[in-house]
Amino acid sequence: MLAVLVRFLSLPERIVLLRVLFELLPTIPRTRVSSPQKNRRKKTKTLEQESIGTFQVMIGPPRLTRFERARIIGARSLQLALGAPPFIVITSVMHNPIDIAISELDQKVLPINIRRTLPDGQYEDIPLDVLTI
């Protein structure tokens, strides 16, 4: 019904009508509320899994996925290209930062943890040396 009446109004009359309608709507206070997902975020690692010897991967496969591998190699090669020192001895076979990053990953010398997250907000930080490559 209102849409039919609005067709016959001019543009300034439509603006006045919209202002009146918006004033009738209830206002929501603009306070900063933290996300409920942040409040529910928990680690799934238990106390007995703190040591590497007894660590069990609870989320995802026990091996490094191809996506995680690509992300690690890309991030580490960028660090090497920007001047970060390598963790391994560079041989004559390694010509670019990508080759160095791949060999660092294969030797498991990178101090990196993989964070795997579930849709409900739970996550698990997995050390790189626990995962099979």
- Which token pair is 102? 């791949």
* Residue 71 pLDDT exceeds 90: yes
Residue 64: predicted pLDDT: 92
Residue 45 CA to residue 60 CA, distance in Å, equals 13
Helix (H) or strand (E) holding 126: strand 123-127
Give the tens place of pLDDT for each residue, 38-59: 545 555 555 444 555 677 888 8
CB 109 within 8 A of CB 128: no
Q: Which amino acid is at 21?
A: L
pTM metric for this prediction: 0.61
Do the beta carbons of residue 77 and residue 97 sit within 8 Å? yes
Please provide residue 91's backbone torsions phi and psi, each rounded to the nearest 5 degrees.
Answer: -95, 175
User: With contact defined as beta carbons under 8 Å apart, do 125 and 45 qualify?
Assistant: yes
Q: Domains of the chain (ranges plus CATH)?
A: 43-133 (3.90.940.10)
Q: Is the pLDDT of residue 32 over 70?
A: no
Rounded to whole angstroms, the Cα distance separating 63 from 133 reads 6
